[in-house]
Structures are given as C-alpha cells and as structure tokens.
Structure 1
Amino acid sequence: MLLIVGSLLLSACRKEPEGVTVRFWAMGREAEVVTGLVREFEAENPGIHVDVQNIPWTAAHEKLLTAFAAEGLPDVCQLGNTWIPEFAELNTLTPLQPYVAQSKVVDPADYFQGIWDTNVIHGELVGVPWYVDTRLLYYRKDLLAKAGYDHPPRTWAEWSDMMAAIKKMQGPNRYAVLMPINEFEQQLSFALQQPDPLLRDEDTRGNFSSPGFRRTLGFYENMFAQGWAPRMSETQISNVWDEFFRGFNVFYVSGPWNIREFKKLQPKELEGQWGTAALPGPDGPGAGIAGGTSLVIFRDSKQKEASWKLIEFLSRPAIQESFHSIIGDLPPRRSTWEYPSLANDPLAQPFRDQLERVKSTPKVLEWERIAQEMRITTEQVVRGGLDQDQAVKELDARVDKVLAKRRWMHEQHRQDSSGVSDKQHSSAVATEAAP
C-alpha cells in the first residue's frame, strides 16, 4: 500500500513537458543568424521552443518537395519569393490574412507593395516578406568622372552614351559593364521595366515576342555587340570584386549582399570612389526584381498560433534592423529603413528607392524553368548564334511547351464546371518534377 501511495505521489510531482515546439526551416547564412535571434523570442515566450533546421540552398527545393510528398513539412519555413506560387498551388500554405487582420505588428501598408504582392496568390495572402533583394548598379565614381560624367545613368539612352564613352576611354580588354551571360537576372530586370507582361493568355503562353521583350533583348544584346560588355560567364571571371577595383569594368549589376563584399575588399585608395544607383529604365529609373524570401506557415502545422507569433517577432522593425546589421539582408518594411544604420547609408539608400518600384515575376510554378529558358536563349543571341527575331519565336515555343499542361488543365477547367483545378494541375507537375 505504501508503495502504491509513494508511486502516486511521485507521479503527481513529476511534471509533464510544457509548451510547444515550432519547427522552423531556414536556409544558408540566414538560418545561422536567425538561430541567435529566436533565443530572444523564446525568452519572451517561455512556452514556445523553436527548432531551427539549417538547409543548404542547393538542397532546399528538393527537400521541400520530398517533405511535401511524405507529409513531413515543418511549421514555419523561409521560402524564396519565386517558390511561393508553387507551394501555394500545391495547397500547402496557410492563408494568413486572418492573422494579419488581428495583428498589431504586421502592417501591410508598411511593406513595399511589389514585395508584399509576391505573397498574394489568386487573391489570397500566403506569406509575409522576411527580407528583400533587387538588382541595381554598382559603379566606379572616379572612372565615370574620368569619362566626363558626374552622376550615374537614369535612362537606357543615357547609360548607352556613358558606356560608349567609357569603352572609348578604357581601350582594349577593359569594359564599361560586366554582365555575366550565364545569369538571367539582368535581362529579367530590363524585361520587368516594360509594359508587356512576360506571359499571356492568363499565364498559359509565353509573351516574349511582344514589343517590350524585343526592346529588352535589343538593349541587352547591343551592350555586347558594341563591345561595352565582355562575352563572359561568371566562371570565366576570376573575382568580380578584384576586377571591379582594378578597373576591368565600371558598371556591375548585382544585389545588396555585395555592399559588404565591396566594402571588405576595397583598396584603401578607392574608399568613397564607388557607389550604387537605381537601375536605369527606358525613360528613367524603372522596375526591378522583387527578390528575397518570405515566411510561411504550412497548412498541416499543428502549431499555427505559436508559428504566427514567431513570424510577428521576426517582422518587428527592431528585429529586422538587428538582422540587417548582422547579415546585411535588406528589410521589407519602410519603417525599418528609418533606423540610422539604413537611413544614413548612402550605399543602401538606392536599394530603398528601387524597392518602391519592384515587380513580382509571373506567379506560376513553372517560372524557374521559364527563367532558365530565357537565359539560354539570350546567351545564344549574345554569343552570335541566334538572330533576335528567331530567338523570341523559339523562346515562346519553348515556354509554351513548358506551360502545355497548365494550358490544357486551364481549358479543361473552363469547359467543364467540374474540371480539374489549378492546384491539381500543380500537384501533377510537382509530382513529375519530384525525385
């Protein structure tokens, strides 16, 4: 009897595990940094533990699709903005508007509109921007002044004039601009500055034969045809930072992460002799890529309330400013840009300016395949093997092939009131793509 009573007393004294665990998948360097930040979150919320899993970017997409197939997705995840449509159409993401409507932290009006829009799929909010990036100009002030200019270019025409003058000044084996031809972000940035969409017929066909993309391709190809840019891929360039500082090129199109790299690697004599500027557009500073990542809650999460608390914490302007100070990623909220570390940074401010004009890419799960088709085709043009008129026709044909299943499903859905939904189409495509 005593043994039974003692056992009952011990059972009463033994505490059951308290609180909940939020599984958070993050990628690369951001995962390393956020691991430290969530300790503060846990201190504020003693009933919540955050388990951060660091996933390499190179393996992230495959791991997410595998987890989706195995019903093993985490509670919260960092998703690249171009992945949002894919996982939304797979019906894996929790609608967040009800949470935002009750939030005292997440204010949609405080976010750059183009960045916020990347998270709205078929009219439904499925993510909250975490950090952003876009592409703009890095340039050598001293060499631009030597060529006769005291300001960076604002229009395509002005930029072309500057590049012609710089190339004449530079001579052989040096250039006005460096645009590695194995990248697609430059062409995409120029294309987003056009009024014509990249896809047509409700995103079921390519629209690369449009006047807008033809202008884009003509402007891009002319840089190489005139000798202003070298026909080189990134693998042929030993070190883009060293080449920039030794004067191999005056302009370089890149993202915000390179502010720190250029600062770290700049020769002392060139401090203050380089800067950043908004990407020139056809008629003035134009649109740019709405890059970066967002925070999502997967639909199968059993910890949605705790997960939302974590997203709110990471969305606070003060936390975003701390995140920026550690890693250099740019915040998606205008109020965060009022902190002195950003407001007083002349290299960061052009990014803030351009973020007001960014545009999302087409919201289809096939987009990354389409972007690669665009890169391949434009590289064929630049290397001299493909006529521009033929290039846009071939690119449309390739993209139409990529979108064939989407187009068929769209027609079925339109013709049959009980037709297959876009989400079923997306699931079928993802199943084909999964390993």
Structure 2
Amino acid sequence: MSVASASTTKATAHSAKAVIAAPKVPNAAAIKKEYGGQSITFIGDSVGGGHTRDMALAKQFSKDTGITVKVVPHPTASDASYSQLARVFTSHGSSFDVAMIDVVWPGAFAPYLVDLGPKLGKQAKLHAAGIVANDTVEGRLVAMPWFGDFGILYYRTDLLKKYGYSKPPTSWAQLFSMAKKIQTGEQAANPQFSGFVFQGNSYEGLTCDSLEWIASSGGGQFIDKGKVTINNAKAASILNLFRANIGVTTPRGVTSYQEGEAHTAFVTGNAAFMRNWPYAYSIAADPKQSKVVGKFNVTTLPHGPGGAPVGTVGGWQLAVNKYSKHPDAAIEFVRYMTSPAVEAFDAITNTNVPTIPAVAKMPAVVKANPYLKPQIATVARVTRPARYLGTHYNEGSKIIYQGISQILNGQDANSVLPSIQSKLDRLVK
C-alpha cells in the first residue's frame, strides 16, 4: 500500500470511529420482559480503546434491555488477569457474571463456566470453527469467540523512504540493520527515538513475542507434539540476536514494555518499527492520539534464517461465571457482544480481528483494517502450548517468559534454555 492510500485508510478508520454507533440489541423487547431490572458485572478490556468500546456497548445493551451492566477493566497483563479470575472461580464467587478470557484459558477454567451451547450454539456456527473448537471442552461450549489476534509488524513508511529502503524488512537481521540506520539518523534531532519496540516485559506478552521469534527461525513452538523443544540451537541463536540489540536498536527499557508502552513509543513518533497486535492500528490512525497518521503501514513479522513469517495466535472469548446470580441475563449480554453487528463495530472502531469470517470479508471492515488483506491475514499462525500444559498453562508460560526475560537482560541463551527446558519437562510429564 502506498503512503497516500495508507493515509486514506487511516482517515476512513478515524471517520468511521466518529460516526458509527453501537448496534442495537436484536430481540430487546423479549429480553427486557424476561430479565429487565437485573444487574450484571462484566470483566472487560483494558488495552488500547477496548474499555471505551466496552462502555459504549454495555450502555447500548442496558438501554435496550433494561439489564444494568457494570464494566470493570481487567489488569493489562494477561497473566495478572488470569490470577484475578482464578481467585474468584476457586472461591465460587459471584462478583462478576461475564468475563473476557484469553484463547489459552478455556481448558483451565472450564469447570467454572456455564455451557453456552444450549442457548448460543446456533450463533457459534457463524464463528471460525477452529476457535469454537478451542472454546469447547469435553463437549461443552464454555466460551464464545469475541475477537481474534495475531502479531504484526508496524513500520514508518516515511522513514523507510527517507533512509533509502523500498520495502519493510523480511528477516530479523534485516530489521535490526534498518532499525539501527534509521535510529542513528533520527537521534540527531530526537534523542528519544528508537529503532524497534516490542513487548519485552516479563509477562504473557513476552511468551507471545518470543514464540514468534523462535518459530519463525525454525526453532519450534516451545513444546512440539507433546515434547519440550525450546532448548535448541536455532532458538538460542535468535534469542541471542534479540539480547544483543537491547539498548542498541531498542530502548534499554523495552524489557519493561507491555502493549501500551510499545504503542505509545510508536504513535508519538519515537520508533521506526513495532511489534504489536492489530488493536494498535486504530490508535496509530487516530489524529487525536497519533503523530504518525499517514506515515505508517503494517506487514507480516520478519523471520530468521531459513524460516518463514509467523504470528502468534491471540484473541479473547466471553464466558459466563457458573456462580453468577443472573446467568441468563449474562448469556444474553454474551449473545449481543459476539453478534455479527458488534464484531463489525469492534473491527471498524477498534481494529480488532473478527472471529466471524463473513464479518472479516465485509468491505467496510477490510477498508479499516489493512491487516485483513490476504498477504498479511494468511500468515502462518503459531499457538502457545496450552494444549500440552492444560491447567498448568499459566505456570508454564511463566517459566518461559521469566527465562526469556533473563536472556533479554543479559544472560546468554545457551545458559538459560536448558533450565527452561527442564522446568517445562516436569510440567508436561
């Protein structure tokens, strides 16, 4: 896409954001008659414009149905959100009725969730079959797909042109080389400028990012076919490449960055490249929040020697707490939030990936979300090892991201990976 067409797309996305209203609730009269006056609490989003979206949708739902919805944003770090929900579930608490849960959590939380199949099974058929299968545990539909995610590369089109590059990097080595050249040039006028930012903090986001680095370099996906594989030469090589670039082409503080810190650096004009999720597109395209409107584009992430681009599968589902005092009202809220109209609204206003294939193909949705174009959207997806770790997923991911954090903070990957391997082996066996 040219800079001009990228600018047009961003302007379209921004104008759409300004004029599109939250969809009305279908069959609202019947819902109001049955459940009007009840109150439910929704543990919702906290990243990017997610909370603003949740508030707008909850307000519309309450207005149409008479069901009051209290929206509480979850902690920004996914693993902290997991712990919050786990505490309530294990105590059989009813402090919330609906919660957004990460794509890797259905197996762990299934015993505490309502089977949505009887009421939402028909609507579930509209969503991608693979995600529905992920959300089905022992024949029970314990969550409904809400929006998807995969890692993508954001880059400054104006700076690539300024420094003589005709296209974005395709390899990690090329990215660091380009980042260094651009950073050196830009820091003369802006000492805060960095070549590349990503999610380097010791949290779930680092598990996602490092999976992309390793898998795109032929180093596997941490656990492959039930066997822990992270301790291998290709994994060590790419991790050491990233270690060598901390404080060189990245800010030294990138090891404390989560999604928000990364997108802030990029949209304020202080980074040439950024790894992030699609939600950040709406922020970078918004003149009220961004200094790079019309000056950026997105593409697939780079790859290592002999590898191919990949994107970590992310995404969020909506689930109903089995201990809710108003489960039926909660199910109606989930029905609304996972409907085609709401998915289209979310994609256009907040650039989240639809889980309904028909919505992802809508012209207005594609226009607002360039990452849905085939050359980006068809990138190979890699999954975190939730299927192998089961209820131990959070523990296993912590082993991974804490180990990777040690590497980014200076330790040689060859001295850290054996420890990660042995700890994961104990969990898998």
TM-score w.r.t. the length of structure 2 is 0.70
> Which range is displaced more, 51-60 or 175-184?
51-60
Tell me, in whole angstroms, the C-alpha distance in 2 between the residues paired with 1:150 and 1:36.
Answer: 41
**How big is the shift at 1:328?**
4.5
AA of the residue aligned to 1:232 = G
> Residues 387, 290 of structure 1: CA spacing in aligned structure 2 closer, same or farther, 3 A cutoff?
same
Helix, strand or coil for the counterpart of 2:220? Answer: coil
The question of whether the paired residues in 2 share the 8 Å contact of 1:27 and 1:78 is answered with yes
Counterpart secondary structure, 1:272: coil
Q: Distance in 2 between matches of 1:260 and 1:360?
A: 25
Kindly provide the CA deviation profile for residues 224-250 of structure 1, in whole angstroms up to 9, marking residues without a partner as x.
49x333433365999756754676431
Match of 1:313 in 2: 336
Counterpart check, 1:389 vs 2:414: yes
| Partner residue of 1:286 out of 298, 301, 309 | 309
> The residue matched to 1:344 in structure 2 has which SS?
helix
Q: 1:341 to 1:198 in 2, by over 3 A?
A: same
Number of residue pairs matched? 374
* Contact 2:179–2:195 (CA under 8 A) maintained in structure 1: yes
Q: Which residue number corresponds to residue 163 of structure 2?
A: 147
1:248-259 equivalences in 2 (<5 Å)? 248-259=270-281
Residues 132, 145 of structure 2: 8 Å contact kept: yes
- Cα deviation per residue 1:150-208 (whole Å; 9 max; x = unaligned)? 22223445435534654665578654322353251421332344572313674xx7432
Deviation at 1:355, TM superposition (A): 6.9
Give the Å deviation of 1:251. 0.7
| 1:207 equivalent in alignment to 2:229 | yes
For structure 2, the 5+ residue unaligned runs are 1-31
CA distance in structure 2 between the partners assigned to 1:54 and 1:208 by the alignment: 37
CA contact (8 A) 2:240 2:407 kept: no
Give the unaligned 5+ runs of structure 1.
Answer: 1-16, 408-435
Partner AA of 1:265 in structure 2: Q
Task: Note if contact 1:190-1:288 (Cα within 8 Å) is conserved in structure 2.
Answer: no
Specify the alignment match of 1:368 in structure 2: 394
The residue number in structure 2 matching 1:107 is: 125
SS in structure 1 of the partner of residue 175 of structure 2:
helix
Within 1, Cα distance between the matches of 2:416 and 2:163?
A: 34
With over 3 angstroms needed to count, the CA separation of the structure-2 counterparts of 1:157 and 1:112, relative to structure 1, is: farther
- Conserved in 2, the CA contact under 8 Å of 1:27 and 1:54? yes
Instruction: Give, in whole Å, the separation in 1 of the partners of 2:176 and 2:344.
Output: 37
Q: What per-residue deviation string (whole Å, max 9, x for no partner) do you get for residues 367-406 of structure 1? A: 334333333323332333x2221111122234345x2xx6
Q: Does 1:26 align with 2:43?
A: yes
Per the alignment, do residues 346 and 149 of structure 1 end up closer, same or farther by CA in structure 2, a change over 3 Å counting?
A: farther
- The structure whose Rg is larger is 1
Over 3 Å counting, the alpha-carbon distance change for 1:307 and 1:359 in structure 2 is farther
Q: Secondary structure at 1:54's aligned position in 2?
A: strand
Contact 1:279 1:285 in 2 (8 A): no
Assess if the C-alpha contact under 8 Å between 2:44 and 2:99 holds in 1: no
Counterpart for residue 147 of structure 2: 131
SS in 2 for 1:133: strand
Going from structure 1 to structure 2, the CA distance change for 1:116 and 1:278 (only over 3 Å counts) comes to: farther
CA, structure 1 residues 171+361, in 2 after alignment: closer, same or farther (shift >3 Å)?
Answer: same
Measure, in 1, the Cα distance between the counterparts of 2:257 and 2:59. 43
Give me the whole-angstrom Cα distance separating, in 2, the residues matched to 1:25 and 1:368: 22
Matches within 5 A, 1:26-425: 26-28=43-45, 30=50, 33-34=53-54, 36-38=56-58, 41=61, 49=67, 51-57=69-75, 60-73=81-94, 74-88=96-110, 91-97=111-117, 101=121, 103=122, 105-107=123-125, 110-111=127-128, 113=130, 115-116=131-132, 118-121=134-137, 125-156=141-172, 158-160=174-176, 162-163=178-179, 165-166=181-182, 175-179=194-198, 181-182=200-201, 184=206, 185-193=208-216, 194=218, 196-199=220-223, 202=226, 206-211=228-233, 213-224=235-246, 227-233=248-254, 243-244=265-266, 248-262=270-284, 263=286, 264-267=288-291, 270-282=292-304, 286-299=309-322, 307-345=330-368, 347-349=370-372, 353-354=376-377, 357-363=380-386, 364-384=390-410, 386-400=411-425, 403=427, 407=429
SS in structure 1 at match of 2:43: strand
- Output the CA distance in 2 between the equivalents of 1:345 and 1:249: 23
Aligned 8 A contact 1:241 1:265 in 2? no
Change (3 A) 1:190 1:98: farther
Deviation, 1:43, is: 7.2
Matches of 1:280 and 1:240 in 2, distance apart?
Answer: 18
SS in structure 2 opposite 1:319? helix
- SS at the partner of 1:290? strand
**1-structure distance, mates of 2:59, 2:375:** 29
Asked if the contact 1:82–1:368 (Cα under 8 Å) also holds between the matched residues in 2, the reply is no
Residue 70 to residue 212, structure 1, CA distance change in 2 (3 Å): same
Percentage of matched positions with identical amino acids: 18
Contact 2:347 2:369 in 1 (8 A): no
On the 8 A contact 1:133/1:330 being kept in 2, the answer is: yes
Query: 1:212, 1:344 → 2: CA distance?
Result: 38
Q: In the alignment, what sits opposite 1:431? A: none
Query: Equivalent residue of 1:233, what SS?
Result: helix
Match of 2:148, SS? strand
Question: For residue 281 of structure 1, what is the amino acid of its counterpart?
Answer: H
